[in-house]
Amino acid sequence: MTNQNNLTEPIFNVVINHEAQYSLWQADRTPPAGWSTTGMQGSRADCLAYIATHWTDMRPLSLRSQAPVS
């Protein structure tokens, strides 16, 4: 049985790769190769809200650079 008083919400970092794609990564872990932190750290909900406002075009950066939005 889990003691509810000892549960804490994990802290996340928002990470980004070279294609300007975002993801969440637990703050106590090193981001995987090819990903770097954006400086945004917080709860899962806060990080997802940050991503929603900053990642408005889901296409990889290399594709965005080549083709106009139709």
Domains of the chain (ranges; CATH) run 8-58 (3.90.820.10)
- Lowest model confidence (mean pLDDT) among 8-12, 56-60, 64-68: 64-68
Tell me the torsion sign for CA atoms 54, 56, 62, 68: negative
Q: What is the pLDDT of residues 19-43, one digit of tens each?
A: 999 999 999 999 999 999 999 999 9
Q: pTM of the prediction? A: 0.79
